[in-house]
């Protein structure tokens, strides 16, 4: 009985250690950047490099998925454990983060077919 209890406790501890400390959530970040759509490829590359350097420093709790440059804004899709971490990334990278919105659901053309 004592051996079974010790084995059960070991399984729980291993499972807890394997679980992430905090699950990531998807966010959309709206960055007001006048003239964003006029940035050159070199400027976008340099901004990406700066962002990537900060992401590396912050670790696995934040991930940049993709960004869209449109007019005077850049819309970014991130996975992160918190909004605060996204704000820290923006501050360290020297980027605005005017609006950060958690993604509630994702839809695409397959949604119409009821495919989950």
Q: pLDDT for 54-98, tens place per residue?
A: 999 999 999 999 999 999 999 999 999 999 999 999 999 999 999
Residue 114 phi, psi (nearest 5): 75, 20
Write down the CATH number for the domain with range 22-103.
Answer: 3.30.70.3090
Angle, to 10 degrees, between the axis of helix 41-58 and the axis of helix 83-93?
130
Residue 4: predicted pLDDT: 42
pLDDT of residue 8: 41
Give domain limits for the chain.
Answer: 22-103
């Amino acid at each position: 009985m004592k051996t079974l209890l010790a084995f059960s406790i070991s399984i729980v501890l291993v499972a807890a250690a394997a679980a992430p400390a905090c699950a990531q959530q998807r966010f959309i970040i709206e960055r007001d950047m006048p003239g964003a759509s006029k940035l050159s490829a070199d400027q976008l590359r340099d901004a990406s490099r700066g962002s990537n350097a900060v992401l590396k420093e912050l670790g696995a709790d934040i991930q940049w998925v993709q960004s869209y440059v449109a007019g005077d804004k850049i819309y970014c899709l991130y996975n992160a454990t918190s909004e605060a971490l996204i704000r820290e990334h923006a501050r360290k990278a020297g980027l605005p983060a005017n609006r950060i919105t958690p993604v509630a659901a994702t839809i695409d053309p397959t949604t119409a077919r009821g495919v989950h």
